[in-house]
Amino acid sequence: MSMKDRHFLLCLVMLWPFGYALGEEQEGWDMLMDAGKSSLLVIDVQENLAPVVAEPRLVLRHCGLLLRAAARLAVPVTISEQYPKGLGPTMGELLALAPQGAVVEKMHFSSAAEPAILSRLQGFSRPQVVVAGMEAHVCVLQTCLGLKSLGFDVFVVADSCSSRKQANHDLAMARLAAAGVAVVSTEMVVFEWLEVAGTPSFKDLIQLVK
């Protein structure tokens, strides 16, 4: 598939959850991400996994931007670690940005099936969950579908996710879109959380986006 074709497919994927592709309206769906209604979930960006996925440095940079934006805008954060004895801890550059107590170990592929993580997300009392991490077709996919089934509004950040094979990432994004999960980009998250230009938060974060 050519790059042009992939970009076209991604546009369709992003539009599908909002009903544009099917000409339907989504009932009860907050169309925009709201910092006051969101929490951020970063999945399994770990030392023995991150180096082998596609474009790991890009994913790390984007996840770092999301964590910085969350900190600046008071968005609560959860960082999952899948079996850290085998996959290692969260990458150090992200761990340095993690709020105290944000890292939670898991064994289930789906964070929605891990009691400690689900309890944390529910405890935030925020209906929107913005999801990033790896691998897109395993833990990210299962987490997003699980959270959606539990009534959360789920936004998966396509360019902050990765898999070992790009094809698996692309299939995961398409499947999530078809299931009604909103597929978004890192910059969409940041600018929708910001809402308005000219604020101190905008001036801080725009330097990281450039």
CA distance 24 to 123: 32
Give me the active site residues, please.
Answer: 44, 106, 139
Q: Is the pLDDT of residue 203 over 90?
A: no
Task: Write the pLDDT tens digit of every residue in 136-168.
Answer: 999 999 999 999 999 999 999 999 999 999 999
Cα 90 to Cα 75: distance, rounded to the nearest angstrom:
20
pLDDT band at 25 (very low <50, low <70, confident <90, very high): very low
* 52-83 confidence digits (pLDDT tens): 999 999 999 999 999 999 999 999 999 999 99
204 pLDDT tier (thresholds 50, 70, 90): confident
Task: Please say whether the beta carbons of 68 and 19 come within 8 A.
Answer: no
Local structure of 206: helix, strand or coil: helix
Q: Is the pLDDT of residue 4 over 50?
A: no
- Average pLDDT estimate for 75-97: 97
18: confidence class by pLDDT, cuts 50, 70, 90? very low
Q: What is the mean pLDDT of residues 81-91?
A: 97
Check residues 12 and 97 and name the one with the higher pLDDT: 97
Measured in whole angstroms, the distance separating CA 190 from the mean position of its chain's CA atoms is 12
Identify the pLDDT of residue 207: 84
Using the CB atoms, write b or e for 104-137: b if 16+ within 10 Å: bebebbbbbebeebbebbeebebebbbbbbbbbb
Give the mean pLDDT of the chain. Answer: 89
pLDDT band at 6 (very low <50, low <70, confident <90, very high): low
Predicted TM-score (pTM) of the model is: 0.88
Q: Cβ(128)–Cβ(39) under 8 Å?
A: yes
pLDDT surpasses 90 at 87: yes
Quote the radius of gyration of the chain (alpha carbons, Å).
Answer: 16
Could you read off the pLDDT of 98-119 as tens digits, one per residue? 999 999 999 999 999 999 999 9
Residue, of 97 and 203, whose pLDDT is higher? 97
> Is residue 157 exposed (0-12), middle (13-18) or buried (19+ Cβ within 10 Å)?
buried
HSE, CB side, 13 Å, CA atoms: give it for residue 174. Answer: 11
Would you state the pLDDT for residue 29? 53
